[in-house]
């Protein structure tokens, strides 16, 4: 055996990539070569909108709104690596990421096929804004494969789904949709905010573009608004062009905070998944709770799909209290550790009532039909000690 040979190269894991970015993938990444003494360990915040420009050429122009300043590029590289994408882009918000992606993929006269189970803001974008640009949208029950096929038109260009679904935690099987999209030459776009790249990487399952509200798990600390898009370099460049003219680029400080948040993504999401599993199992044993929705429970309608396709069941769960809206209000008021607030994916556990947030515009009957009857509460499980979360829920139920 030749003991002088170099050790076999090891592909860095998600956490290593999230902490170090592309640096660890390079052969010259040793401290001596790449990090001379005195260099900061943390990516410096370059809070500058303008950068000196080379003479006599338009190349090399850097400007914050173009998405090519140092702190944006540093996050984009990490995200592309985590999603297994050629390229990624950070935007000012999740909605900005979805809007710019749609503007890049669709033209007047085109048709978009969308899952009916999507975040309320995205639904508004598709029903109120895209039609004004001459784009027609058809919503499909995502579990009905035949309906997807039947709804395809000659003008269909893209398919949009969200999984796991906000707020019901339903998990979609992308595989048949990916087959259909590739057969018909449609772009399959997946909002993977709830899973984060730790638990699911849609591009590995045949998606073309993945979108995140980076406000949620990617940042994870309730202090940054951001969005992200990842996919083929040519598509991401088109999305970037839309981001530039629609003014959807993030500020360098938001990118810097996002990079700091992403360093702990793996440990946070694993802990949140463990906590959510324990809390969901405990909730299932309680008579005051009529229904518990968590993909890690065998009782979840998509447990098998979740087990087959996700690397972890995630930190999002929902409960439906016996006693409807009144019981939910009493419960939420009594919570001490879990905070009543919108949004999700951060280190603090949060609870929200869709009847006052994403589903406020629907009637009671419509909400019930959408799977979120009054009494339904979405819980974004944080990284606290799970015993304290269980005790908090127990005292609030008492």
Instruction: At 20, list the tokens.
Output: 């170090």
Local structure of 345: helix, strand or coil: coil
How many residues comprise the chain? 398
Binding-site member from 21, 67, 220, 227 for ligand PLP (CB under 6 A): 227
Alpha carbon distances (Å) from 221 to 162, 215, 284, 398: 22, 8, 28, 30
- Binding part of the chain for ligand PLP, among 93-101, 235-243, 258-266, 314-322 by CB under 6 A, reads 93-101
Question: CB 114 → ligand PLP: shortest distance, Å?
Answer: 13
> What is the closest distance, in whole angstroms, from the C-beta atom of residue 85 to ligand PLP in the complex?
18
Measured from the Cβ of residue 359, the count of other Cβ atoms closer than 10 Å reads: 20
Name which position in 77, 213, 272, 277 contacts ligand PLP (CB under 6 A).
213
Catalytic residue numbers? 65, 119, 191, 216
- Residue 367 CA to residue 16 CA, distance in Å, equals 42
Question: 297: which 2 tokens?
Answer: 């429970």
Residue with the shortest CB distance to ligand PLP: 94
- Selected range binding ligand PLP among 29-37, 91-99, 235-243, 385-393, rule: CB under 6 A: 91-99
Q: Whole-number minimum distance, CB 92 to ligand PLP, in Å?
A: 8
94 binds ligand PLP (CB under 6 A): yes
**Interface of this chain with ligand PLP, residues 307 to 366, rule: CB under 6 A:** none
Q: Pattern 113-152, binding to ligand PLP, x per CB under 6 A?
A: ------x-xx------------------------------
Least Cβ distance, residue 193 to ligand PLP (angstroms): 4
Sequential DSSP letters for 148-203: HHHH--TTEEEEEEESSPTTT-----HHHHHHHHHHHTPEEEEE-TTTHHHH--GG
Question: Which positions from 151 to 190 touch ligand PLP by CB under 6 A, shown as an x/- string?
Answer: -----------x---x------------------------
Over the window 246 to 275, marking each residue x when it contacts ligand PLP by CB under 6 A and - when it does not, the resulting string is ------------------------------
> In the chain, where does DSSP find H-type helix?
14-20, 31-34, 70-83, 94-105, 120-124, 145-151, 174-184, 196-199, 233-246, 252-263, 265-284, 303-309, 324-334, 364-369, 386-397
Is the CB of 125 or the CB of 244 nearer to ligand PLP? Answer: 125
CA 118 to each of CA 99, 124, 250, 326, 393: distance values in angstroms, whole numbers, following the listed order: 14, 10, 24, 26, 28
Report the interface residues with ligand PLP, using CB under 6 A: 93-95, 119, 121-122, 162, 166, 191, 193, 213, 215, 225, 227
């Amino acid at each position: 055996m030749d003991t002088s040979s170099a050790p076999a190269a090891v592909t860095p894991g998600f956490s290593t990539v999230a902490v170090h970015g592309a640096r660890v993938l390079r052969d010259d990444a040793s401290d001596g070569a790449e990090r001379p003494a005195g260099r900061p360990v943390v990516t410096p915040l370059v809070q500058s909108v303008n950068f000196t420009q080379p003479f006599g050429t338009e190349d090399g122009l850097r400007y914050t709104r173009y998405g090519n300043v140092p702190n944006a590029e540093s996050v984009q590289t990490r995200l592309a690596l985590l999603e297994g994408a050629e390229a990624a882009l950070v935007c000012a918000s999740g909605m900005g990421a979805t809007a710019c992606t749609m503007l890049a993929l669709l033209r007047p006269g085109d048709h978009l096929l969308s899952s009916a189970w999507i975040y309320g803001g995205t639904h508004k974008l598709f029903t109120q804004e895209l039609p004004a640009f001459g784009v027609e949208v058809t919503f499909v029950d995502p579990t009905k494969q035949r309906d997807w096929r039947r709804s395809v038109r000659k003008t269909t260009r893209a398919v949009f789904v969200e999984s796991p679904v906000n707020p019901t935690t339903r998990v979609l099987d992308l595989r048949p949709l990916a087959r259909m999209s590739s057969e018909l030459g449609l772009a399959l776009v997946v909002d993977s905010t709830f899973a984060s790249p730790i638990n699911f990487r849609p591009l590995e399952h045949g998606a073309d573009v993945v979108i995140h509200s980076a406000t949620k798990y990617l940042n994870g600390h309730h202090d940054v608004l951001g969005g992200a898009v990842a996919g083929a370099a040519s598509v991401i460049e088109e999305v970037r062009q839309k981001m530039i003219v629609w003014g959807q680029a993030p500020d360098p400080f938001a990118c810097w905070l996002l990079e700091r948040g992403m360093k702990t993504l793996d440990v946070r999401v694993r802990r949140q998944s463990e906590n959510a599993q324990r809390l969901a199992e405990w909730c299932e044993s309680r008579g005051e709770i009529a229904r518990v929705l968590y993909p890690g429970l065998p009782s979840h309608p998509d447990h098998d799909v979740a087990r087959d396709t996700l690397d972890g069941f995630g930190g999002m769960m929902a409960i439906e209290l016996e006693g409807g809206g009144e019981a939910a209000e009493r419960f939420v008021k009594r919570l001490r550790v879990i905070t009543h607030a919108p949004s999700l994916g951060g280190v603090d556990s949060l609870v929200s009532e869709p009847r006052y947030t994403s589903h406020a515009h629907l009637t009671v009957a419509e909400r019930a039909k959408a799977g979120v009857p009054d009494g339904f509460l979405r819980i974004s499980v944080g990284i606290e000690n799970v015993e304290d979360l269980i005790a908090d829920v127990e005292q609030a139920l008492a």
